[in-house]
Structure 1
Amino acid sequence: MTKSGNARFIEDYALYFAWLISLIATLGSLYFSEIREFVPCELCWIQRIFMYPLTILLGIAAFTNDIRMRLYILPLTIIGGSISLYHYLVQKVPGFANIKPCVQGVPCNIQYINWFGFVTIPFLALTAFTLMTVILVILHVKVKKV
């Protein structure tokens, strides 16, 4: 595959990969809350506010091949990822919990899952937001070069 072929492949499928990641993250959050019956905390709800629209926006962008949408989607992934990072730090670093404690419902430092000693629900969300951000930045750079 030539260099222009690689760039074309990235342009053609980057939005689909990002959409697939957002879809898996959305379905995963619904699985944890609706099937496993984990009650989301305040920070989980805020992360969902940024993740759920990405599934729709990236789906539309991928199926219409509208790479300009990356400019509107990228801020959502960066802000959502920042909230996920903060939530992960609240769970794993005791000093962060005192900055802004959750005041209603489930405490934000509760860890419903803790796979391998570090994979929690906010870590999964952070991974999804980070992967989507990287894909969109790569797409942005490739489009700017062409």
Structure 2
Amino acid sequence: MTVRTPETTGWLSAATLVATVATAGSLWFSLGLGLTPCDLCWYQRILMYPLVAVLGVATIEARPAVFRTALPLVGLGLGLSAYHSYLQATQGQCTLGGPCATVQWQSLSLGLTIPNLSLVAFVLLAVLLVGMRLRVE
């Protein structure tokens, strides 16, 4: 049986915030800075964007069972962003096409590239969802 508690809402709110910031950040890179996403970036966006709605609704309804829906998306995104970060670090570009060879944006304060930021977001989401699963259910 699923237990609805304020703790559930806290975990879900934090996960929703991470997904929202990651989505807004990716839109800022493409629309604000005019950077064209590569194929791997598009795939990561496809996995991140629905999490805003899925986790947002789960937060409002206090549904910890959402991890069954969200965790597969997060797991795929985590693997893809790790692979993307690896490619960028070792080859300096993506091999699946797109402009990664020309776009090497890096955060001045953190030293992270766009694939690294995606990896951080997916890791945070995985930690929050697994943590909620272990603590709440």
- What TM-score range do you get, normalising by the shorter chain? 0.7 to 0.9
Aligned residue in 1 for 2:75: 78
Q: Percent identity?
A: 35
* Pick aligned residue for 1:127 from 110, 120, 127: 120
Of 8, 11, 17, the match for 2:8: 11
Q: What is residue 66 of structure 1 aligned with on the other side?
A: 63
The alignment's TM-score, normalised by the length of structure 1, stands at 0.82
Residues 1:138 and 2:135 aligned together: no
How far apart in 2 are the matches of 1:117 and 1:60?
Answer: 32
Which residue of 65, 90, 103 maps to 1:93? 90
Hey, what does 1:23 align to over in structure 2? 20
User: What stretches of structure 1 of length at least 5 have no aligned partner?
Assistant: 1-7
Unpaired segments ≥5 residues, structure 2: none
Work out which of the residue numbers 102, 111, 122 in structure 1 matches 2:96: 102
Could you give the per-residue CA deviations for residues 71-129 of structure 1, whole angstroms, max 9, x where no partner exists? 110111111011011111111112x96xx7123x3136841225368400111111111
Are the aligned partners of 1:43 and 1:108 in contact in 2 as well (CA < 8 Å)? no
The match for 2:38 among 27, 38, 41 is 41
Indicate how the Cα distance of structure 1 residues 30 and 38 shifts in structure 2: closer, same or farther if over 3 A, else same: same
2:101, 2:45 → 1: CA distance?
14
TM-score normalised over the length of structure 2: 0.87
> Are the counterparts in 2 of residues 87 and 108 from structure 1 also a CA contact under 8 Å?
no
Alignment CA distance shift 1:30-1:80 (3 Å): same
Structure 1 residue aligned with 2:104: 111
Distance (Å, rounded) in 2 between the aligned partners of 1:24 and 1:114: 15
Give the count of matched residue pairs. 133
- CA shift, 1:25, in A, is 0.4
After superposition, the CA RMSD in angstroms is 2.0
When residues 114 and 73 of structure 1 are mapped into structure 2, their CA distance, relative to the original with a 3 A threshold, is: same
Larger radius of gyration: 1
Q: Look up the SS of the partner of 2:96 in the other structure.
A: coil
Change (3 A) 1:72 1:113: same
Is the alpha carbon distance of 1:117 and 1:130 closer, same or farther for their aligned partners in structure 2, counting shifts above 3 Å? closer
